């Protein structure tokens, strides 16, 4: 009986350890050095080189500066700043490009969701990558406020095969953190892991009694 309980506890712990869920990141950039100038912004969300599971991203609560002209949409991209931008990884290249007049700050939320995050299939061989870039020119050829001298990316979120996400922040003078809801999910996972530790420990103790 104790062995059965121990096995059940281990299986439950394994499920909690691999639990994935949608995630939101808040990005805040100090653009004072570009204030009053017109450049451009770029958002893209693309699958990996092999088979990628479906995922989506929304850019929400955009504030700061103003869009100039109409956006250029490529692949599975929709929306218009300062409203919601939507991208998925259904095509090989999915991109939202916008001429933009900067103010002193720029903020927005990155909301990632879909099967690749909430229900990883275990058979896909590539993840996906969201990337945000800022440019000081309207053509999008001169990256601004980034330490990434290779690709010119400012903020990157990789969706991993297990449904987790990895953030790389190249933005100068920025803050980019998970939203409280995301921290809550992390807290639930940690609490579950601790509960599993206690359950397994209790089961092992019972076996020796």
Provide the pLDDT for residue 4: 40
| Helix H or strand E encompassing 27 | strand 23-30
**Percent share of the chain, pLDDT over 70:** 74
Answer whether residue 157 shows pLDDT above 70: yes
How far is CA 112 from its chain centroid? 5
CB 53 within 8 A of CB 119: no
Identify the band that residue 209 occupies on the pLDDT scale cut at 50, 70 and 90: low
3-state SS class at 200: helix
Please give the angle made by the CA atoms of 101, 103 and 109, to the nearest 5 degrees: 90
| Helix H or strand E encompassing 185 | helix 180-208
How much is the average pLDDT of 27-32?
A: 96
Parallel, antiparallel, or unpaired for β 77-79 and 85-88? antiparallel
Provide the pLDDT for residue 174: 72
Strand order in the sheet with 105-113: 77-79, 85-88, 56-63, 105-113, 23-30, 174-178
Please provide the average confidence, as pLDDT, over all residues in the chain.
Answer: 83
Answer whether residue 26 shows pLDDT above 60: yes
Provide the pLDDT for residue 42: 98
Answer whether residue 203 shows pLDDT above 50: no
Q: Where are the domains of the chain?
A: 21-180
**pTM for the model:** 0.77
Question: For 163-191, how does the pLDDT look when each residue is reduced to its tens digit (9 = 90+)?
Answer: 999 999 999 877 666 665 444 444 444 44
Question: How far is 188 from 84, CA to CA, in rounded Å?
Answer: 29
DSSP letter assigned to residue 42: E
How far is CA 22 from its chain centroid? 9
| Helix residue ranges, H only, 57-179 | 115-118
Q: List 198's β-bridge partners, or say none.
A: none
Parallel, antiparallel, or unpaired for β 155-159 and 38-47? unpaired
Provide the pLDDT for residue 175: 65
CA distances from 141 to 41, 92, 97, 137, 163 (A): 11, 21, 12, 7, 33
């Amino acid at each position: 009986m104790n062995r059965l309980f121990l096995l059940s506890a281990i299986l439950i712990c394994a499920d909690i350890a691999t639990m994935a869920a949608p995630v939101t990141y808040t990005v805040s950039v100090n653009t004072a050095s570009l204030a009053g100038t017109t450049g451009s912004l770029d958002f893209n969300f693309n699958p990996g080189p092999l088979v990628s599971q479906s995922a989506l991203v929304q850019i929400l609560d955009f504030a700061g500066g103003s869009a100039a002209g109409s956006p250029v949409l490529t692949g599975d991209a929709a929306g218009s700043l300062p409203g919601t931008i939507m991208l998925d990884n259904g095509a090989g290249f999915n991109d939202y490009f916008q001429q933009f007049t900067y103010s002193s700050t720029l903020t927005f939320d990155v909301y990632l969701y879909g099967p690749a995050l909430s229900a990883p299939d275990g058979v896909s061989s590539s993840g996906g990558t969201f990337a945000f870039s800022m440019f000081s020119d309207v053509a999008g050829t001169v990256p601004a406020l980034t330490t990434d001298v290779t690709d010119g990316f400012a903020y990157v979120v990789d969706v991993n095969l297990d449904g987790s996400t990895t953030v790389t922040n190249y933005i100068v003078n920025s803050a980019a953190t998970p939203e409280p809801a995301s921290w809550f999910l992390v807290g639930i996972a940690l609490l579950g892991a601790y509960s599993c530790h206690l359950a397994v420990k209790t089961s092992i103790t019972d076996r020796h009694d």
